[in-house]
Amino acid sequence: MRFDVAGYTPPDDKRWKAGQEEILDLLKRKRLAFNNEGEPYAKVYEHDEEELHIPLWTFMPEDVTGTAESGKADLGRIVGATHGIDSVKPKELLAVFLEATTREGLNNPP
């Protein structure tokens, strides 16, 4: 999630929040702008907002699902810290999904 768009590449501690195709589409549609410090932001207009705004959040607590950081640390312990994968799903979250979608899990809800 680190690539150049319009002369901007995120620094080592930051990443784009979408893939290159989507970011380039935002740029093409003039929905990507840069602030005075040269950092990008998505333009959102009042007429873009729906009347009903549903927040993007999870209802599952971190102690049950883990975090992206814990997933990255786990992978680092398995394959080495220089694996270069930044968006690792934690094993706890994968276990929640597997439990919810397997026949045994479906027959025995928590």
CA distance 60 to 55: 14
CA distance 20 to 1: 8
Please tell me the pTM assigned to this model: 0.45
Cα–Cα distances in Å, from 54 out to 42, 49, 57, 61? 18, 11, 9, 19
Query: Is 57 within the bounds of a domain?
Result: no
pLDDT score at 25: 92
**How many domains is the chain partitioned into structurally?**
2
For residue 98, the enclosing domain spans 62-107
For 95, the enclosing helix (H) or strand (E) is: helix 91-101
Same domain for 97 and 78? yes
Same domain for 45 and 5? yes
pLDDT score at 77: 92
Query: Is 56 within the bounds of a domain?
Result: no
CA distance 77 to 75: 5
pLDDT score at 60: 75
Average pLDDT, the chain: 82
pLDDT score at 19: 85
The predicted model gives 56-72 an average pLDDT of 79
